[in-house]
Chains A and B, each alone.
Chain A
Amino acid sequence: MTSPERFILIDDEKVANMLAERSIRKVFEESAIIKFTEPEKGLYFIMDECLLPALTTVVFLDINMPILSGWEVIYSLEQLACDVTSHFKIYIVSSSVDPADKEKARISPLVKGYLEKPITRSVVESLFMEKVAS
């Protein structure tokens, strides 16, 4: 299990980010974790790093946020000329159980997967165990 160099958490709820951070920390002690409660700031961060040689980064992106929803962030990234997926592995994170959101996540080339909240230690583990298995 190679640990990702960095995690970016985008959720307007502080609690959610905090919970995710704690769960990640339990699995990957060394990884850097950057948290955004304002999605546009998270978007700009990713956009800025897109063209630079960047760290291997896992992004947990919440869907339901004011100003910009998770999908709008995805849409903005799709418009970029560079290939975001080369070093950003984006996971949609939601408390929603709407099948339409799951389907959208499956189809989008930018999205690696769909995770249901809360992001617990086992969620993080299973995510990377799975990767190893495949």
Chain B
Amino acid sequence: MKRWQSSYIRAFKGEAYTEEVYGELPDPHWSEISFNPIIESGVVVAVACCSKNISNRKKIEEQLKLSEKMMAEAQRIAKVGSWELGLTKDAGAPIWSDEAYRILGYDPKTDMPSYENYLKRVHPDDLEFSTTIVEKAIAEGSKFSIKHRLILRDGTLRWINSEGEVIVDAVTGMPLKIVGTNQDITDKVLAEEKANRESNNRDILMNTIGDSMWSMDANMNMIAANARFIGFIKAFTGIDIKPGDNLLIEKFGEEVLTRWKARYERALAGETFSEEEYSEYPEPAWTENSFHPIAENGKVVGLACFAKNITTIKIVQEQLKQNEIMMADAQRVAHVGCWERGLEHEDHEKNFVRWSDETFKIFGYDPKNDTASYEKFLNRLHPDDLHFAPQVVCKAIEDKSRYALEHRIILPDGSIRWISSQGEIVVNEETGKPMKVVGTNCDITEKKLMEQEREKIAADLMQRNKDLEQFAYIISHNLRSPVSNIMGLAEELKDDLDTESRTLFLTELSQSVAKLDMVIKDLNYILQIKREITEIKDHVVFSGLVNDIKASISNMIQTEKVTIDVDFSAIDEMYTLKSYLYSVFYNLITNSIKYHQPGIAPHITVKSNQTKNGIALFFSDNGMGIDLEIQGNKVFGLYKRFHTGIEGKGMGLYMTKNQIEALGGTITIDSQVGVGTQFKIEFNK
């Protein structure tokens, strides 16, 4: 009631209006009720009311709304906006769907649709060409499709695809309007751009690398190739090869074709392989060609091929090989091997050990079949150096320093070699701990032997020099001694002397002169022995030698009742200088007779013996003997006499020693005063 009352009051106040009312009775229905005041003389006198059932209209309107909503929803989802632009003079504002607003970045509620507003959003760079296309379509009455960019209010770049159709008056042919859609294709364009970029990158990658890549089908027709390959084919044959072309181009020439055909066939049979190839054309180069079958469902349908320029690698490899050869040569020539041994593990066996070929050889191992190990080195180390050499290295490791030492090794054949070993500890820069020891081994055996020989020669020379000094001193003394006597006697003879004294002095004088002469003769004799031996060696029989001496001193033997026993059963012969050996035997035998004990007949034994290194001769007597504790170091000295009152020059044993040494032997003495003397002579082979 109230609703009706207010409606009537409104009408009576002079307002004409219509309202739509929904009622449930008798059926659910919509009514349109209009109230029209009837005015007479400016006064509302009555209200005319009219009710019309509008349920059907309402229903259609609802459906339309719904479909519009659905449409808008669909447009939103598809990012497609629809629009309509009137082209006639009386045409109103364009019609934009909500999504058309949104795509252009406008708000359907607040912004007005207009062609100008649309143009405002078009990217400046796209404005000219898109308007041109639209104008052309209008002029022709045709359809158009433009892909162009928008810049939204907030600066966002958006790609749209604008499609439109010009509707023309069927009678006049005049354009009436354009209906069209705008589709936001930003995501798609960006995705495309990305894909393009990736594909470009791939192309760039493929085309800029210096290697050739190509693929082919089972019929050896090219599927794809990079620029390098295409360029190569062009350079070689002058042909621009294209996908689908056969790869076996005749212009390659028979020889090349045969080779490549064989390779393709081999790969098409399913084998993956690479081959290195040298070619002079187009430029001298080494190439590594590799072939990879492409399989589909277990069947080879094509090949991916790859040709890599390995010239640089080859050159480096070749240089490396040359360097290695040179290094090995150098090591072999210099007898120097190098090696390194890791130190990081506590357990030696876990540390790596590397030896150069020459190191293997120096240690008597086979570089091909043996493996390097610290144990193998220790096996070779001379037992006497086993403690010293590793200790030096350990010390260097402790000090992180260098070391150099010389040690011996024993090779499998028993030979002893001298090794000069030098090394350095390499420290891990991060931890500061010893990482490895690197070193060299040099076989210095020959040098060492020469050094030892030199040392021996130097020692010999020094001894010889000392001997000569001594010799010079003794000679000068023994020359000076008679000279001084002669001077003294001559001085005395100047005086006025009685006949007896004069005779005595003259006798002494002549004796001193004779002594001087003898010393000079001795000197000659000694120097003769000291000179190089020129006499020819011969087989000398010891028993024969003794018999000759016995015969020459038979008088002495008889007078002194000498007995000489000989035993040369062990060995009775020697290859030597007979005159020297005779002199030695003679001196030793006559010495024994000369220095016999008073009242005891001299008994001499001469014996030979075969020793490990040669021959030993023993001369024993029962003579006076010499006190070796006092005289030992002088027995063989020149002009040394040990017994006063017995005739002797003090030269016999000196000469004997010199002669034995000249023959390469040695002489030693063993003696006891009152018992006898034994000389032992040794000749080493």
Contacts and interface: CB of A to CB of B under 8 A. Distances in A.
B644 A96 contact: no
Given A66-B642, A67-B644, A16 B476 contact: no
Interface residues of B, number: 23
Nearest to B473: A98
Interface string A44-82: 000000000000000000001011000000000000000
A83 interface: no
Contacts of A23: 488
B640 interface: yes
19 contacts: A15-B508, A15-B511, A15-B512, A16-B484, A18-B508, A19-B485, A19-B488, A23-B488, A66-B640, A66-B643, A66-B650, A95-B480, A95-B483, A96-B477, A116-B484, A117-B484, A118-B485, A118-B487, A120-B488
Interface of B: 473, 476-477, 480-481, 483-485, 487-489, 491-492, 508, 511-512, 639-644, 650
B481 A67 contact: no
A117 B643 CA distance: 24
| Interface of A (DSSP majority class) | loop
Interface in A1-53: 12-13, 15-16, 18-19, 22-23, 37-38
Contact of A66 (B487, B489, B512, B641): B641
Contacts of B650: 66
Nearest to B630: A72
Most buried by A among B481, B640, B642: B481
B46 to A, nearest CB: 177
B481 A95 contact: yes
A113 to B, nearest CB: 17
* Contact size range, A: 20 to 34
Contact of B481 (A13, A22, A121): A13
A117 B477 contact: no
Contact of B492 (A22, A98, A116): A22
A15 B477 contact: no
B641 A67 contact: yes
Given A66-B650, A95-B477, A97-B480, A16 B485 contact: yes
Interface string A108-127: 00000000111111000000
B642 A96 contact: no
Contacts of B511: 15
B670 to A, nearest CB: 20
Contacts of A121: 491
Contacts of A98: 473, 476-477
Contacts of B641: 66-67
A66 B644 CA distance: 7
A67 B640 CA distance: 8
Contacts of A118: 484-485, 487-488, 491
Contacts of B487: 118
The 8 closest A-B pairs by CB, nearest first: A118-B488, A66-B641, A117-B484, A95-B480, A19-B488, A95-B484, A95-B481, A96-B477
Contacts of B489: 15, 19
Contact of A19 (B476, B492, B640, B644): B492
Contacts of B644: 12, 37-38, 66-67
Contacts of B484: 16, 95, 116-118
Contacts of B491: 118, 120-121
Contacts of A66: 640-644, 650
A66 B476 CA distance: 17
Contacts of A67: 641-644
